[in-house]
Amino acid sequence: MATTQALTMMDVRNTMPTNQEQEFWQANYWDAVAAHDSRMDGVFLYAVRTTGVYCKPSCPSRRPLAKNVVFFRTREAARRAGFRACKRCKPDAPSTSNPNADFVEKVCRYIDAHPDGPATLEALSRTIGLSPFHLQRTFKALTGITPRAYADSRRLQALKAGLRDGHSVTRSLYDAGYGSSSRLYEGASSKLGMTPARYGKQGSGVAIQYAIAKTPIGRMLLAATSQGVCSVQFGESEGMLESELRREYPRAEIARSDKGLAKWVRAIQGRIRGEDRKALPLDIQATAFQRLVWEQLRDIPYGDTRSYSEIAKKIGRPKAARAVARACASNPVAVAIPCHRVVRENGDPGGYRWGMRRKRNLLALEKSVTEPQP
């Protein structure tokens, strides 16, 4: 059962964390490792397969490759898995424990043990013995997400694990803690990027239409499912854009439909020119951290910019500027989520997935529209 699997790490069994657990931790805590976030010290440890050592999140050593990282709740679990303590950050030292780490672990234990129960602040506060306000504030300060977001992510990971194991949608949804199919389809489909049944088939049969059009900053490919826009890319040639789309969705049913997507293409073209600033329906996948960042990006006014560190402070992670930059770089829908409006503190444009020339041109276009003409 998925509930039993979810408890493996929390109960510190004598086995390595399951793939399901690692996916969850990778999605929600990798950014803390990349940012050397000391607030997460005591909440979890990470180990590096290539070096054989385990570290606390704030370890100043060179950032490892994500694929080589394994997460653990305690040093005992890391040692039983064959890892040794890092000599730089000394994760076994008593001073490394965050005073609120035990509280966070207690909340996580409760949520993992009750996947089908309500993760409301009221229910958790009665169990944990803290006021809803203090519980929410403390949990989010350490983890970067709310208790409800944690519960949703765990439930979704359990669902995905069941589908990948070949179980039916019905069994997978109940094992994961969804009380009904309506609860599943209300929230999970948008996070999966497709319906649960199709996810179980690794996306086979998902219909994606795309269109290619000219814009003031070069050729643009816009792709969409029946749920919304899933990709907005810029490139030098139509062939390159089409190849990239098929590489990203290798098992989808992809077809060109310039006429069918004309409305959304015009919307993106209008946003570039400052003529249409309404939000588009999106069908994209994101980690909890990426969602926090992307929501902030969508709030940046047209023609304005914010620094990576300003966004980090906005989401309550002031030391995560680099992680914010990575979230911007992983944005799959250019302009729809305006990652081009995030720059370095000194005003330098910084990086851009679709080329610095395009970023500068976008910023210049927006500035020319918003600034009063002489």
Q: Which residues are catalytic?
A: 55, 339
Q: For residue 306, give every residue at least 6 positions away whose Cβ sits within 8 Å of its Cβ, in sequence order, or none.
A: 296, 300, 314, 341, 342, 343
| Residue 317 DSSP one-character state | -
10: left (phi over 0), alpha (psi -120 to 50) or beta: alpha
What is the distance between the alpha carbons of residues 175 and 179, in angstroms, rounded to a whole number?
A: 9
Residues 237, 286, 319, 33, CA torsion sign:
negative
Number of C-beta neighbours around residue 23 at 10 A: 16
CB atoms within 10 A of CB 239: 9
Q: How far apart are CA 71 and CA 134, in angstroms?
A: 27
User: What distance in Å separates the CA atoms of residue 329 and residue 352, rounded to the nearest whole number?
Assistant: 7
* Alpha-carbon distances, residue 300 vs 293, 307, 340, 353 (angstroms): 11, 11, 10, 19
Q: Using CA atoms, how far apart are residues 40 and 85, in angstroms rounded to an integer?
A: 17
